[in-house]
């Protein structure tokens, strides 16, 4: 008889013939059946799992951002939204750490299967684009790559009909400070660009945190989120340079040059600019 500890003797349930098990609840069979390498290269599984896990975390980011936006636009207690935004920043940090795993793949490893990727690219990640749109970085021209998937294209188009997370934050800022903003600050189908009145209003908040505590806390949550997002962009471009140098991307962009340009994106520009004035 085995000497190994048998938890069933302490009551662990061992039979799941007619009860929901771990694998049932998480749909593990379906999940683990989703990897379809296009080559025999050893590292392709790493590449697939890295992307699939990123997409799963992005799904949660969208879930949290959508809920946070709802809370902020309801105009009541902001605290549940703060918790969600803090979680989003932590998710980005999680994604930032994940680059350490992918970085173990050298250019020699990657070239063994890069051809098999064809023209597919993260550039075509609809969830990534949705995150950008929800946050307020609405570059509409990037929707075109989703035209062959009408339901995804519609999802992005629907998002453009909703005020962004930054729009609803600005609504709350305007209500609290009494400063009104020009209508172009609320354009639905363009990336947000810095506005002097908005900066003035955020500056009022930072000059008097006690009076505007909710807005002050919201601002810092947004800055934190953007801080971690920027690190993600930076880790991405550095990994890309490390693995493919200055080759053109499979998605057809200039590659590293394109991604460096994306480093200039400012999601909440006024929150960064006001700091020089304090
Ligand atoms: C060795 C690994 C990687 C390489 C060489 C790489 C390369 C690139 C390149 C060259 C682009 C520019 C578009 C193009 O022309 O293809 C791009 C875009 C993109 N990649 Fe990656 N990538 C890598 C890993 C990842 C990972 C792990 C993710 C996570 C989901 C990711 C997500 C994205 C996204 C979302 C974009 C679009 C960025 C934007 O439009 O701002 N990439 N990547
Ligand atoms: N754009 C990459 C390929 C790539 O990284 C990729 C390919 C398919 C699915 C996701 C990808 N990740 C990020 O772009 C390249 O040019 O090598």
Looking at residue 104, its pLDDT comes to 96
CA distance 23 to 29: 7
Q: What's the chain's Rg over C-alpha atoms?
A: 23
Alpha carbons within 13 A on the beta-carbon side of 116 = 15
Checking if the pLDDT of 13 tops 80, the result is yes
49 annotated binding-site participant: yes
Cα angle for residues 264, 157, 237 (degrees, 5° grid): 25
Instruction: Compute, in angstroms, the gap from residue 41 CA to the centroid of ligand 2.
Output: 15
Task: Give the binding-site residues of ligand 2, using a 6 Å CB cut-off.
Answer: 51, 114, 117, 120-122, 244, 249-251
Per residue in 130-159, pLDDT (tens digit) is: 999 999 999 999 999 999 999 999 999 999
Protein residue with its CA nearest to atom 14 in ligand 2? 122
39 lines ligand 1 (CB under 6 A): no
ipTM computed for the complex? 0.98
For 42-113+123-244+252-277, CATH gives 1.20.58.480
H helical segments located in the chain: 22-26, 28-32, 44-74, 79-102, 107-111, 126-135, 150-161, 165-177, 196-207, 213-244, 256-262, 269-273
Instruction: Give me the residue spans of the domains in the chain.
Output: 42-113+123-244+252-277
Does 1 have pLDDT greater than 80? no
Cα–Cα distance, 56 to 159 (Å, whole number): 19
| Average model confidence (pLDDT) across the chain | 97
CA 28 to centroid of ligand 2, rounded, Å: 26
Distance from C-alpha of 133 to C-alpha of 139, rounded to nearest angstrom: 8
CA distance 48 to 259: 21
| 226-242 average pLDDT score | 98
């Amino acid at each position: 008889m085995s000497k190994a500890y048998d938890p069933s003797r302490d009551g662990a349930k061992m039979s799941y013939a007619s009860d929901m098990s771990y694998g049932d609840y998480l749909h593990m069979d379906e999940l683990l059946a989703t990897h379809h390498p296009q080559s025999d290269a050893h590292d392709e599984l790493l590449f697939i799992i890295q992307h699939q896990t990123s997409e799963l975390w992005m799904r949660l980011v969208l879930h949290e951002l959508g809920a946070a936006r709802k809370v902020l636009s309801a105009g009541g207690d902001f605290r549940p939204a703060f918790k969600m935004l803090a979680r989003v920043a932590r998710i980005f940090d999680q994604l930032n750490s994940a680059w350490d795993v992918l970085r173990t793949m050298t250019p020699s490893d990657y070239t063994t299967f890069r051809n098999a990727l064809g023209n597919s690219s993260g550039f075509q990640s609809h969830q990534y684009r949705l995150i950008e749109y929800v946050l307020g970085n609405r570059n509409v021209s990037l929707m075109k790559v989703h035209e062959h998937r009408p339901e995804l294209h519609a999802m992005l188009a629907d998002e453009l009909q909703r005020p962004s997370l930054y729009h609803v934050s600005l609504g709350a800022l305007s209500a609290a400070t009494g400063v009104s903003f020009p209508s172009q600050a609320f354009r639905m189908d363009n990336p947000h660009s810095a506005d002097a009145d908005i900066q003035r209003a955020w500056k009022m908040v930072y000059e008097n945190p006690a009076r505007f505590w909710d807005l002050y806390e919201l601002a810092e949550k947004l800055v934190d989120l953007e801080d971690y997002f920027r690190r993600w962009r930076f880790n991405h471009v550095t990994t890309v340079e490390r693995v493919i140098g200055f080759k053109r991307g499979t998605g057809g962009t200039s590659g590293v040059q394109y991604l460096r340009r994306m480093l200039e994106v400012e999601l909440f520009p006024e929150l960064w600019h006001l700091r020089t004035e304090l």
